[in-house]
Structure 1
Amino acid sequence: MTATLLEQRYRAVLRLLPAYYRRAREEEMVETFLLRVGVAEDGAEDEDEARDLDLMRPSWREVGSVVTLAVRSRMGAAGAPSGYVTLGGAVRHFALFALLLQAAATVTEAALSLAWSSRSAYDRSLLLDVFTSDGGYGWARGVALWAAPPLWTAAYATLLRQRPRGARLFAVAAAVAASEPLVDEAHWSGTVTALTVATAVFGWLTVLAVCCGFHADAGPAWLPAVPPGLAFLGTCVLMGGSVVIRPEGVDSQWATGTAFAVAAAACLAARALAARTDRDRNDRDRNDRARTDRPRNDRPAAETTLALAALGLVVLTLRAGLLAVELDVDLPAGLLAGAVAQLAVTVLLVAALAAVGARDLRAAPRTG
């Protein structure tokens, strides 16, 4: 039987699915779709019906469901090959790391703002000026700025409580609040800086990772090595301490860069220790004339390392965007030197994480 144009169009939509899924389910999906639109198993009964079918197209709802399935099947769905399993795990880890970083950064910034506002009446007026300037727009801007800390924190906590739907809602609301500076700059100056765009993109990239990574077939959300609450508190203390130590010599991205640098260094140290332990174990096995070709499963380590490398690229973009602004302003040499040094360290850490992640990925067993 010759395929109708409707069937050909639906098969074209199904090409969005990965090859392994199409091999297993394409014919079944095509048959189900044609039956649902009223096509008998033996095709159209006459030429008029065939002509009517040729005029039909898959509905937007049908296309949307295929797109959703295409994303889920690439994010480590049941029966997916190892490459897609690793991709899904890396996306989920990136979502958690990004939520943690943004939650800690916004909470720390809010806490420091409140603490410093108590030093003098001038500092208090600066804090309140966010709400009182520009009339009603000022109130909206202030609410957006102060809504981000609880929203990012709620998204992080909700996701780790295994409630991805609630986490998506909180993350979307937080990303909307984080996009307020973008609207503010465009409204008042007509232009936006690269840093403002990168900050807004980071928020929506986090939303995308949460929505795509945590699907029905995904495993539970978890942070490697550290309890979630301790990770959040530790990150807040680290970020706040890095600013308090040098209150006059850091910029707005210093705390974020410091937190990433510490996390990346800890990850690389853990991977180096694990590699050394593996070598010692293999040496003992060789001395005992035991099997030395036992397969290693470094996929979880690769997922974590590659997710941190991706997060590092975002941090690097934010740091470079702010540095571009700072170079056009007359700032103290110490502040610029610290920003440049942090940029260089971030580049090295991202490169090291990518190399280690690629090595772990090659060592992991492959399936599919």
Structure 2
Amino acid sequence: MTTLLESRYRAVLRLLPAYYRREREEEMVEVYLWDVDRDTQEQSRPTVGEVASIAALAVRTRLGAAGAPRRYALLGAAVRHFALFAVLLQAAAAVVDRALEVTWAGTHGWDMFLSGFTGRGAGLGGVNVAQWVLPLLWTGGWFALFRERRGLARVCVLVAALPTLWPVVAPLVTDAVPPDPAYATASLVLAWLSAFGVCAAFHRDAPAVVLPAGTPGLWHLACCVVMGASVVLVPTSADAVWAPATGFLACALGWLLWRARSSGQGGAGTLALAFLGLLVLALRVAALVPWLDVSVPGVVVAGLVGQAVAVALLTVALAVVGGRDLAAR
């Protein structure tokens, strides 16, 4: 006769995918009930630690653990590709933004640059320093993944994503002006989906990270060069999203070129880039809308609208190509 505790364990184990339950459920229930007498089983329930452990296992088994069916392996590959591309995009954007800011300060004077960190009290000064420094940890997370330091990578990306929360929290604790809701939400969603993707998909059973060509340093440098050049060459249209959107366009075009030369491989990566394109497009549109209410030269608005159209078209192309690749395989 099934006891109450056994029923509760089986209910929690339903978090696991069916293929894993078929192979391991009876064994797991037996282990959980091994040293618990029957009277206690009628009055107990799984501990918080056990539930958390099963939930973590459910994530691993659904994102490409060893022996997982094809659909789970593809899902895990897609989430890992998305996390890699998104981390690279934000890592390069953070480096380029700060490099250009320091370069500008070095040629025009440091007073304006330093005023952002001084004269506002120790608390706000510390927050501003954190806002400037912490996004650089996207780069640390990128390289940690390729060094198989996955725990370090998780810490880096989670901390790097923290600054996206401040614009939402600041109006509640200071006299700061509330941010544009659409832009703040899009930035927060991109950062935290990237961080959660790293935490969930790069588990201990996940395969080693391999790039289709080149090295992690070369990818990072190339992305920084493309983003930096886009700002330097078109400074009038270079708002906060211009460089990341340009970086996405370059990465997506490069990926499609590699896919064409590799006979249609990389369907999961192509779909992952398409999903990232949706997030970049949302960020691009959210940053573009305020420009429409400001008196600026038409060429500036045209450049921003053109970039949004390019991101949208390339995202659709990625989705179509990725879907065909998976269907063909």
Q: Same fold (TM over 0.5)?
A: yes
The structure having more radius of gyration, on CA atoms, is 1
Q: Secondary structure at the match of 1:131?
A: coil
Unaligned runs of at least 5 residues, structure 1: 279-297
Q: Secondary structure at the match of 2:107?
A: coil
Indicate the residue corresponding to 2:250 in structure 1. 262
Question: How far off its partner does 1:191 sit?
Answer: 5.6
Indicate the residue corresponding to 1:183 in structure 2. 169
The CA distance in 2 between the partners of 1:200 and 1:79, in whole Å, is 34
Amino acid at match of 2:11: A
Matched, 1:100 2:117: no
Indicate the residue corresponding to 1:24 in structure 2. 23
Matched, 1:358 2:326: no
Deviations 1:321-342 (A, max 9, x none): 1112322333332221111111
Please tell me whether the aligned partners of residues 140 and 156 of structure 2 are also in contact (alpha carbons under 8 angstroms): yes
Indicate the residue corresponding to 2:108 in structure 1. 120
Instruction: Map 1:138-287; keep pairs closer than 5 Å.
Output: 138-186=124-172, 187=174, 188-190=176-178, 192-275=180-263
CA RMSD of aligned residues (A): 1.8
Question: How far off its partner does 1:104 sit?
Answer: 0.4
Indicate how the Cα distance of structure 1 residues 185 and 355 shifts in structure 2: closer, same or farther if over 3 A, else same: farther
Question: How far off its partner does 1:185 sit?
Answer: 4.6
Amino acid at match of 1:14: L
Question: How far off its partner does 1:192 sit?
Answer: 4.8
Deviations 1:72-119 (A, max 9, x none): 001111110011111111111111111111110000000100111133
Please tell me whether the aligned partners of residues 277 and 315 of structure 2 are also in contact (alpha carbons under 8 angstroms): yes
Indicate how the Cα distance of structure 1 residues 75 and 351 shifts in structure 2: closer, same or farther if over 3 A, else same: same
Q: How many residues in Structure 1 have an aligned counterpart in Structure 2?
A: 327
The CA distance in 2 between the partners of 1:190 and 1:177, in whole Å, is 15
Please tell me whether the aligned partners of residues 257 and 342 of structure 1 are also in contact (alpha carbons under 8 angstroms): yes
Matched, 1:84 2:72: yes
The CA distance in 2 between the partners of 1:330 and 1:23, in whole Å, is 64
Please tell me whether the aligned partners of residues 151 and 171 of structure 1 are also in contact (alpha carbons under 8 angstroms): yes
Q: Secondary structure at the match of 1:10?
A: helix
The CA distance in 1 between the partners of 2:327 and 2:160, in whole Å, is 37
Deviations 1:154-180 (A, max 9, x none): 111111111101111111111113433
Question: How far off its partner does 1:144 sit?
Answer: 1.5
The CA distance in 1 between the partners of 2:269 and 2:57, in whole Å, is 25
TM-score (norm 1): 0.84
Deviations 1:189-215 (A, max 9, x none): 356522122212222211111111111
The CA distance in 1 between the partners of 2:4 and 2:57, in whole Å, is 23
4+ aligned runs moved over 4 Å, structure 1: none
The CA distance in 2 between the partners of 1:88 and 1:318, in whole Å, is 25
Please tell me whether the aligned partners of residues 90 and 138 of structure 2 are also in contact (alpha carbons under 8 angstroms): yes
